[in-house]
Amino acid sequence: MKVEVAYASPEEQVLLETEVPEGATIEDAIRESGILEWFPEISLETNKVGIFGHAESLDTPLRERDRVEIYRPITCDPKEVRRQRAKKKKPPVRTA
């Protein structure tokens, strides 16, 4: 069955289509795709994975046309990023 494996580094995004047998898992698809050779920084022990944006474990079975995603570790606090963005968007306060 055909599935896709996706990964995005800060420099580039890759989406690979690969063929796996029925009953294959997320880990099987990642290994079969060859993406681990392209991006040696990917560690199946530490990187989170998912299917179409939903976190899953490596042993999750796949279905035809699933998109396996490999997620990079979060390097900043998402709440703090939102706070900083909100500060920039606030209009100036007028005083009379």
Q: Is 53 left (phi over 0), alpha (psi -120 to 50) or beta?
A: left
Measured CA to CA, the distance from residue 32 to residue 11 in angstroms comes to: 23
Among 53, 49, 69, which Cα is nearest to 8's? Answer: 69
Give all strands of the β-sheet with 67-71 in edge-to-edge order: 13-19, 2-8, 67-71, 48-51, 54-56
Asked if 15 and 33 touch (Cβ cutoff 8 Å), the reply is no
Whether 96 has a pLDDT exceeding 70, the answer reads no
Q: Which CATH class is domain 2-89?
A: alpha beta
Whether 72 has a pLDDT exceeding 70, the answer reads yes
pLDDT in tens, 76-91: 777 877 888 887 776 6
Residue in the block written with tokens 């920084």:
41
pLDDT in tens, 34-67: 999 999 999 999 999 999 999 999 999 999 999 9
What pLDDT is stored for residue 57 in this prediction?
97
Provide the residue ranges of all domains of the chain, joining segments of one domain with +: 2-89
Among 92, 28, 14, 20, which Cα is nearest to 60's? Answer: 28
